[in-house]
Structure 1
């Protein structure tokens, strides 16, 4: 396949591109800056511009573009960046694929477009599959808009899957870097009540699931990219502490997280989703890391 990837410089993209090439695919990377290599091609999602020729012979687009969600307060400007970077990028590739279909309707095409388990809002301890409705907080509303931006491609007949990803576990993931440092200093512990579920996925399975979905022709719509066993925050931090051989004895009060992180703290730290990969497993995907300790050992067990 010929595959275009947006957001190729991010954590997932940097692991995905070489994996796709190892699989034998031709990969082009869409970049907003001046291209530096032959496989890079410029696009302008901010102004929703992409060369119409660029996607004409592309079989698939993996859309990972968007301003990273960081552990910081959601200011008005930051919220605007989070929304526009995702909507503009997704709408641009969706409209580009729709134009490619109009030029050559005979070629099957697929769009795998990033989303997040934040779509569901705070779901408590209820098990959440892909047919669950959206939440009402900022991140949930963002995910709804993000997924709706794929509509031009779907309406044109492109197979579209929206990737509702959980917390990615990897040595270089922001969550693992921050919490790993805190726990190595012996300062870690549960956050708030610790009962909120944190859905996670190892980077190897995030990449593996994307590779799998590229050719899973009967899978479209939302797909939870999470490990099969989401855990409460108290168990997450216990397993993380064990992975770095440190204790988890200093809980962080909910009030401190709300004061320090505002809406982000309420919706992304103190809330959670017990999201499971129902559609992915039903399609036949097998996880490399089916448990959180396995994923953490892979991410943190080396040095």
Structure 2
């Protein structure tokens, strides 16, 4: 079995690539430099360059490439790059898939629970409509729409709407762990906003399930079954590192001053997202409670 992976050097892409190779799958990474072997192929998503021959004969493609969302302070240029890298990259990939003589059977395209906007304390699953805001309307909705030609060409398309990924190797957790280890962890803003999380191990397991299950297409939420409020996340992480949490919350205006526009959509608002499709399919998560997940990750 041959699987094409974009974004293979990232946190999720590298974990998925290792898992696929452990199952004896042949993984071909799409890279934006000179390929270094038969397991790499060149593409330039910004210029729409990808030879359809690079994807021919593969059973599936997992598309994870895109600029980081929370690793820089947002400004107009950063926001354009966040949206453009996803939209143009998906467009380039889908064009090659539809032009290939031997098309892959499935496209698993990265997405995000930012699709739902701020859900407050309302639980949502894959049947919920898109929300409001930059991430929902200017990033995720048009990003997912770029996969439509692949679906129309008969390729099974799954949209991997991923939540907050818990890992010591990347993402948010390594950035906040030093603060919590000093006993300075505190709720952010009201603390009532929901954070829908998933461990890397469970994310990989869910993607492997989607790869194998022909019945899973369309949006698939990659989140654990029990999202928590930011206040509960703070308390649980402090307990996991055996330190107290600060009783006072970090005010919203301070967060906006420190990290800019990302605070509004990435920190102070939340999504209470449930993995409805995976649950219906009978998928089993290794970590369903945050405390157990953090213990395993840390």
TM-score tier (shorter): over 0.9
Q: Displacement of 1:108 after TM fit?
A: 5.9
Aligned positions of 1:26-37 closer than 5 A: 26-37=26-37
- State the distance in 2 between where 1:71 and 1:4 align: 26
Aligned alpha-carbon RMSD (Å): 1.2
Corresponding residue number in structure 2 for 1:127: 123
Q: State yes or no: 1:137 paired with 2:137.
A: no
Tell me if structure 1 keeps the 8 A contact 2:73–2:262: yes
Aligned positions of 1:135-284 closer than 5 A: 135-141=131-137, 142-249=139-246, 250-284=248-282
- State the distance in 2 between where 1:286 and 1:165 align: 17
- State the distance in 2 between where 1:11 and 1:80 align: 22
Tell me if structure 1 keeps the 8 A contact 2:55–2:104: no
Tell me if structure 2 keeps the 8 A contact 1:123–1:273: yes
- State the distance in 2 between where 1:36 and 1:298 align: 35
Q: What SS does the aligned partner of 1:53 have?
A: helix
Aligned positions of 1:25-174 closer than 5 A: 25-100=25-100, 103-104=101-102, 109-141=105-137, 142-174=139-171
- State the distance in 2 between where 1:14 and 1:219 align: 23
- State the distance in 1 between where 2:250 and 2:71 align: 15
- State the distance in 1 between where 2:176 and 2:256 align: 18
Tell me if structure 1 keeps the 8 A contact 2:58–2:104: no
- State the distance in 1 between where 2:197 and 2:238 align: 16
Q: Displacement of 1:199 after TM fit?
A: 0.4
The answer for unaligned runs of 5 or more in structure 1 is: none
- State the distance in 2 between where 1:8 and 1:99 align: 23
Q: Displacement of 1:174 after TM fit?
A: 2.5
Tell me if structure 2 keeps the 8 A contact 1:71–1:261: no
Deviation track 1:160-205 (CA, whole Å, cap 9, x = no partner) reads: 0001100000111221001111101221111111100000001001
Corresponding residue number in structure 2 for 1:20: 20
Tell me if structure 2 keeps the 8 A contact 1:31–1:41: yes
Q: Displacement of 1:228 after TM fit?
A: 0.3
Q: How many residues align?
A: 296
Q: Displacement of 1:68 after TM fit?
A: 0.9
TM-score normalised per structure 1: 0.95
Q: Which runs of 4+ in 1 moved over 4 A?
A: none
- State the distance in 2 between where 1:183 and 1:108 align: 45
Q: Displacement of 1:263 after TM fit?
A: 2.0
- State the distance in 2 between where 1:121 and 1:261 align: 19
Tell me if structure 1 keeps the 8 A contact 2:57–2:104: no
Q: What SS does the aligned partner of 1:41 have?
A: strand
Tell me if structure 1 keeps the 8 A contact 2:109–2:159: yes
Q: Displacement of 1:2 after TM fit?
A: 0.9
- State the distance in 2 between where 1:279 and 1:293 align: 24
- State the distance in 2 between where 1:217 and 1:125 align: 32
The answer for unaligned runs of 5 or more in structure 2 is: none
Deviation track 1:104-158 (CA, whole Å, cap 9, x = no partner) reads: 3xx6610000000011000000001011111111011110011011112111010
TM-score normalised per structure 2: 0.96
Deviation track 1:43-78 (CA, whole Å, cap 9, x = no partner) reads: 111111111211110110000000011254321110
- State the distance in 2 between where 1:83 and 1:14 align: 22
Comparing 111-120 with 242-251, greater Cα deviation is found at 242-251
